[in-house]
Amino acid sequence: MNCDFAGGQILLIDKPSGWTSFDVVAKVRNLITKYTGQRVKVGHAGTLDPMATGLLILATGKKTKSLHALQMQDKEYIATIKFGATTPSFDADTQIDKIYPVEHLTQELIEKTLKQFLGKQLQYPPKFSAKRLKGQRAYNLARQGKDVELKPVEIEIKEIQILSLNLPTELTVKLKVSKGTYIRAFARDLGFKLNTGAYLTYLRRTAIGAYNVDDALTIKEFENFVSTHCSKN
């Protein structure tokens, strides 16, 4: 990474929990302006939910033209799924709205059911998502209590690896998926297939194509770099 942000840079940022992807873009753009005086375009490839952490690819200046190609890359996630309940957003950002039985869940049943999700399939995006509907973000409509009906999208789940299983209520998996896959929707659908409820309690994106979160900077580390190496003063 160098300081020619107008000429174009690809930036790997480790997004903190509680930030939207747009928060990260705005912060990076402001830091570049503050320390370098450059007013540059900044965009990102692949939106992460506020609750999620992990790899967010940003591009500046002329490199923003490469964002579309980056968005098309496969993604890798680590996700923790809670069984026995559902939430409207399919994650812990909203309150539990229904409780379900979990006594029937076994390791064998979960392993068998996970295999059914491998391959290409149609997935209904969550109502609480950044998808646009009638000119608005779906999550804005959902929060207003309005009816949100999103069309199914073809996705592909290429790999599912169980990292830990604490029966009967918690599962952590690593997934490799195609562009457009919602892990919250995967949790919802897994719960349905298992005849229980399910929602995400943790989500971290670890890779996009060949880019890995191990090579990403935190917001603070990025600020330290531009303030030390790129300052106009």
Per the confidence metrics, is the pTM higher than 0.75? yes
pLDDT over threshold 80, residue 158: yes
Residue 147 corresponds to which tokens in the numbers above? 């009816």
Q: Are 171 and 81 in contact (CB under 8 A)?
A: yes
The answer to whether residues 75 and 177 touch, using CB atoms and an 8 Å cutoff, is: yes
Q: Which two tokens stand for residue 182?
A: 């919602």
Residues designated as active site: 49
In tens, the pLDDT along 15-34 reads 999 999 999 999 999 999 99
pLDDT, tens only, 86-137: 998 899 988 999 999 999 999 999 999 999 999 999 998 886 655 554 555 4
Q: Which domains does the chain have, with CATH numbers?
A: 9-72+210-229 (3.30.2350.10), 75-208 (3.30.2350.10)
Instruction: Retrieve residue 223's tokens.
Output: 């600020």
Q: Would you say 198 and 103 are in contact if contact means Cβ atoms under 8 Å apart?
A: no
Residue 46 pLDDT class (50, 70, 90 cuts): confident
**Confidence label for 151 from pLDDT (cuts 50, 70 and 90):** confident
Distance CA 165, CA 140 (A): 34
Q: Would you place residue 138 in the very low, low, confident or very high pLDDT band (cuts 50, 70, 90)?
A: very low
The DSSP secondary-structure symbol of 78 reads E
Q: Do residues 10 and 27 touch, judged by C-beta distance below 8 A?
A: no
C-beta of residue 48 within 8 angstroms of C-beta of residue 208? no
Q: Which tokens in the block code for residue 221?
A: 């580390």
**Per DSSP, what are the bridge partners of residue 119?**
157
